[in-house]
Structure 1
Amino acid sequence: MARILSIDYGTKRTGIAVTDEMQLIASGLTTVSTHDLMPFLTKYVTEEPVETLLVGEPTQKDGTPSGVEGNIQNFIEGFKKKFPKIPIVRVDERYTSKMAFQTMIDSGLTKKKRRDKALVDEISATIILQNYLYK
């Protein structure tokens, strides 16, 4: 069975999470510079079978698309061209950053570690993946 990959796309950094091969467990993988996202994914997909790519869908409180949505659409178009056989699923990502921060507090991380925005992005990608798997 192939993995499911999840991304929390940002203009500076993108958090990435992945399932195990049985698609039972969601784990944070890494955070990469968004500039390096496509080369990272290209390398990953050539080394690991990926069944589906989940992309967080950021929206405002009123339900309108977030300002980063245009960038996300450009990324999706590029990904589809490079990997036409891997389906892309959009997943609501509202409040995942807040949930990630709360997870960090609940885990007992120090204030210094909670300031690590890359870790917040990785945990957010994991929450997006968990929401998809367990609904």
Structure 2
Amino acid sequence: MARIIAFDYGEKRTGIAVTDELQIIASGLTTIETKKIFSFLTDYLKNENVELFVVGEPKQLNNSASESEQFIKPFIEKLGTTFPKIPIIRVDERFTSKMSSQSMIDSGLKKKHRQNKALVDEISATIILQSYLYNK
């Protein structure tokens, strides 16, 4: 089997999570400046076998697309053309930021660490990936 990578895409930063090769455990990998994501992925894919990309899909409470979807669509298109052999699926990412913040509180992180937006993005990507694994 190969790994699955999940993205919590943002205009400035993108949180990235990855599974183990057996696709059992989702773990935070990193948060990267969005403008550097394709060079990061190119390097990562030289050393790791990845079979699927999971991209968070922001939605409103009424299930309509969020405003940030306009920034995610071009990313998905470029992801598909840059890595055409790796399929892309979307996973609802509603409430992942709140869940991320709550998990940091639950784990005992001090307030200063909880304000680290890069960490929130990485944890959000992990939640997106866990959601995919749970529902697949």
Q: Check whether TM > 0.5.
A: yes
CA offsets 1:65-110 (integer angstroms, 9 cap, x no match): 1122122110111111111110000000000000000000000000
SS state at 2:6 partner: strand
Match of 1:14 in 2: 14
Q: How does 1:1-135 map to 2 (within 5 A)?
A: 1-135=1-135
Cα shift at 1:20? 0.4
Cα shift at 1:60? 1.4
Q: How many residues align?
A: 135
Cα distance in 1 for partners of 2:38, 2:59 equals 23
Cα distance in 2 for partners of 1:115, 1:71 equals 24
Gaps of 5+ in 1: none
Cα shift at 1:45? 1.4
TM-score normalised according to structure 2 size: 0.96
Moved over 2 A (4+): none
TM-score normalised according to structure 1 size: 0.97
- Percent identity over the alignment is 64
SS state at 2:67 partner: coil
Cα distance in 1 for partners of 2:104, 2:24 equals 22
Cα shift at 1:119? 0.3
SS state at 2:24 partner: coil
| Aligned Cα root-mean-square deviation (Å) | 0.8
